[in-house]
Amino acid sequence: MPFELDGITFYYSDKKVIDNFSIKLAPAKFYGIIGPNGSGKTTILDLLVNHRQPTDGSLNFKGRRLSSYSKFELSREIALVPQNFYINFPFTVKEIVMMGRYPHIPRFAAPAAGDWEIVNAVMEKSRIVEFADRYVTELSGGERQRVVFARALAQNTPILILDEATSNLDINYTLSLLNIAADGVQAAGKTVIAVLQDINLAAAYCDYLVFMSKGRIVTHGPAGEILNPDTLRSVFEVDAKVYFEDYCNSLQVVFRR
Amino acid sequence: MGKKLFQYDDQTGGLRKRLKEATLFQLLLLAAVMTAVIIISTGMGYIKVPAAAVVKVILAKLTGKADFLAGLDSVFSVVVMDVRLPRILSAAIVGGGLAVSGVVFQGILLNPLADPYTLGVSAGAAFGASLAILLNIGFLGMYSVPLFAFLGATVTLLFVIYLSSSSGGFSSNNLILSGIIIAAILSAGISFLKYIADEQVSVIIFWLMGSFGSKTWTDVGLTLLFVGLGLGVFIFFARDMNLMSLGNRAASSLGVDTRKVTMVLLVTASLVGAICVSVSGIIGFVGLLVPHMMRLLTGPDNRRLLPISLLAGAILLLGADTITRAVLPSEIPIGVLTALIGGPFFCYLFRRQHKARKIL
């Protein structure tokens, strides 16, 4: 079990953001976390990557308390594509992607040939080779988001966490990046935990969905079982129809306007 | 596809090698220029000393062999060793120190306008120095003023950190804002000290504008120690600083203990800034300008930027000090000179960058 969350509560100053959150996440699955704005999705991810620590409850990673891991140990286990992908200095795209290899390169050593191979392969996969030598500060939002995604892939960790990682991408790149993530789950047994806004994308890609609202889990389970109009109404307060779509081989949702 | 990948490999390998060679070349070039500037400027002044004589005097001192001094005017040895070199070396070390701590401040505050004085370090130092001059504190002889300047800077730094730290760690906005508030209060305090200072007011004003006049070997040793230690810390965390430009979350997920690294770097960079101010007075624009210029030259990777900025800062400030000491008919305060040259140059650089739509 990569993650075991038991009764997690988190306060942001006086405000309770996460309330009694308990779930076990298994390896080699694509998890989707879904919920309205401000429901605590990013905070849950912050807790999972040990960027913040729970106020109460226990959070174990591979059988050990998550907070007992050093940042360095975790950087070889968990990669994060954050929501904010602004980069402050004019590094080249290639340099940024290579930063994903830092956890694998000793502090004062130069990248090995193997690191360059991984960086190049990842840039091919994410289709950013054409601007490998450009400055990230000159790229568009969507281009930069692909660079940040490539950097997380270069980290080559068993767990990949995506915080609305496709928010600025067109549908072509969205599908292509989610396919890369899903491939990692299928072929390499990786675990992906993604916060997604688009419920249809979540239905198409995720094995398992976690619906949350106001810091609590509303319901969780295999996507095919728990995605239904009642869940959507209680979480988002919208009317929806859920049906099986052969074309993408998954449930899909349409909403009443 | 395979062929394309291979070609690409080749290209990156070549680029990496070129960059490495270029950095090494830049470092060697800058080191050579610095050595040349040191020797030439040592020869300049009221008593002209030929470059060869300067080298001989330094060699004689370093090796302990008096043979090198054969046939030289005995005044040369005194002028070079006791009068000029301490001043020249402290100018170079302070320049390098200001430049590297500027790199660090810009790197961790994620703000290209940050410099060693951003957190109110200079205002703190100025207040401490003004107080020492006003109260005529002399129990440490000539080191009273620098000591008070250093204490002022350190206390200010601690207070700014206390003011801006919250449960969630530091945010660069909080730090900058706290620094500005404290600096504003302190500068009002300095104005008040000047107002009640009477006769010492000119001493205070002169100290505040900075000078390398009458520096000693103790100053050289002290600044060298602090700047050297500081540089060691900066280089150690240079890679983490690269990651921190991706933002705290990303840096943290790539193995950086952002809170700890920010704290260590802030304190170290401020102390380096503080020792520089306490030795030389307030010298603006070196810490702001040098990292900018060098980032254009060598890119933002701190592992290259730090050593290059160190050398460039040393050359720049030494050059400026030599201009005011030996070129201008009468000495003007170095802080005024760097601001008068650095300010407009920064405007030009900023405008040009702006036009090229590159972000500094």
Q: What is the pLDDT of residues B81-106, one digit of tens each?
A: 888 999 999 999 999 999 999 999 99
Kindly determine whether residue B12 and residue A116, on different chains, have CB atoms separated by under 8 Å.
Answer: yes
pLDDT of residue B3: 36
Residue B6, pLDDT > 50, answer: no
Model confidence at B354, pLDDT cuts 50, 70, 90, reads low
Say what angle helices B121-134 and B144-164 make with each other, to 10 degrees: 140
Residue among A71, A119, A138, A144 with most chain B CBs within 10 A, to mutate: A71
Percentage of chain B beyond pLDDT 90 is: 35
The CA-atom distances, in angstroms, between B318 and each of A231, B82, B90, B338 are 71, 17, 9, 11
Run of H or E including A162: strand A159-163
Kindly determine whether residue A74 and residue B255, on different chains, have CB atoms separated by under 8 Å.
Answer: yes
Residue among A11, A17, A75, A88 with most chain B CBs within 10 A, to mutate: A88
Residue B360, pLDDT > 70, answer: no
Determine the residue of chain A that is closest to B356 in CA distance.
A138
Determine the residue of chain B that is closest to A134 in CA distance.
B358
pLDDT of residue A106: 92
Instruction: State the Cα–Cα distance between residues B56 and B52, nearest whole angstrom.
Output: 6
B328-356 mean pLDDT:
82
pLDDT tens column, A64-102: 999 999 999 999 999 999 987 788 888 999 999 999 999
Percentage of chain B beyond pLDDT 70 is: 90
Q: DSSP character for A227? A: -
Determine the residue of chain A that is closest to B238 in CA distance.
A107
Cβ under 8 Å to B: A residues 113-152: 116-117, 119-121, 124, 129, 132-133, 135, 137-138, 148, 151
Chain B positions in Cβ-Cβ contact with residue A79 (cut-off 8 Å): 253
B252-271 mean pLDDT:
91
Chain B positions in Cβ-Cβ contact with residue A13 (cut-off 8 Å): 167
Q: What is the ipTM of this complex?
A: 0.90
pLDDT of residue B11: 45
Chain B positions in Cβ-Cβ contact with residue A88 (cut-off 8 Å): 110, 245
Query: How far is CA B247 from its chain centroid?
Result: 26
User: Of A79, A90, A116, which is closest to B9 when you measure between CB atoms?
Assistant: A116
Chain B positions in Cβ-Cβ contact with residue A87 (cut-off 8 Å): 245-247
Chain B positions in Cβ-Cβ contact with residue A130 (cut-off 8 Å): none
Chain A positions in Cβ-Cβ contact with residue B167 (cut-off 8 Å): 13
pLDDT tens column, B324-335: 988 888 888 898
Instruction: State the Cα–Cα distance between residues A140 and A82, nearest whole angstrom.
Output: 17
Kindly determine whether residue A82 and residue B257, on different chains, have CB atoms separated by under 8 Å.
Answer: no
Residue B18, pLDDT > 80, answer: no
For chain B, give the mean pLDDT.
85
pLDDT tens column, A231-251: 999 999 999 999 999 998 999
Determine the residue of chain A that is closest to B167 in CA distance.
A13
Strands A159-163 and A191-195: parallel
Percentage of chain A beyond pLDDT 90 is: 86
Kindly determine whether residue A72 and residue B255, on different chains, have CB atoms separated by under 8 Å.
Answer: yes
User: Would you call A73 helix, strand, or coil by DSSP?
Assistant: helix
A211-219 mean pLDDT:
94
Chain B positions in Cβ-Cβ contact with residue A99 (cut-off 8 Å): 242-243, 246, 254
pLDDT tens column, B139-157: 767 778 888 888 998 899 8
Percentage of chain A beyond pLDDT 70 is: 100
b vs e for B17-36, b when ≥16 Cβ sit within 10 Å of the residue's Cβ? Answer: eebeeebeebbeebeeebee
A207-222 mean pLDDT:
94
Kindly determine whether residue B110 and residue A88, on different chains, have CB atoms separated by under 8 Å.
Answer: yes
Chain B positions in Cβ-Cβ contact with residue A156 (cut-off 8 Å): none
Kindly determine whether residue A103 and residue B110, on different chains, have CB atoms separated by under 8 Å.
Answer: no
Model confidence at B230, pLDDT cuts 50, 70, 90, reads very high
Cβ under 8 Å to B: A residues 179-238: none
Which one is predicted more confidently, A155 or A14?
A155
Kindly determine whether residue A116 and residue B256, on different chains, have CB atoms separated by under 8 Å.
Answer: no
For chain A, give the mean pLDDT.
93
| Check whether domain A3-222 has CATH 3.40.50.300, yes or no | yes
Chain B positions in Cβ-Cβ contact with residue A127 (cut-off 8 Å): none
Determine the Cα angle at A153 with ends A150 and A156, to 5°: 155
| A104 contacts chain B (CB < 8 A) | no
User: Of B110, B167, B255, which is closest to A71 when you measure between CB atoms?
Assistant: B255
pLDDT of residue B37: 93
Determine the residue of chain A that is closest to B245 in CA distance.
A88
Chain A positions in Cβ-Cβ contact with residue B12 (cut-off 8 Å): 94, 116, 119-120, 132
pLDDT of residue B169: 62
Q: To the nearest whole angstrom, how far is the Cα of B250 from the nearest Cα of chain A?
A: 6
Tokens read off for B208: 């505040």
Domain spans in chain A, listed from the N-terminal domain onward: 3-222
Kindly determine whether residue A74 and residue B167, on different chains, have CB atoms separated by under 8 Å.
Answer: no
Which one is predicted more confidently, B356 or B269?
B269
Residue B12, pLDDT > 60, answer: no
The CA-atom distances, in angstroms, between A247 and each of A206, A252, B154, B246 are 16, 10, 67, 39
Residues 6+ apart with CB under 8 A from B132: B144, B145, B147, B148, B149
Determine the residue of chain B that is closest to A71 in CA distance.
B255
Determine the residue of chain B that is closest to A14 in CA distance.
B167
Kindly determine whether residue A86 and residue B13, on different chains, have CB atoms separated by under 8 Å.
Answer: no
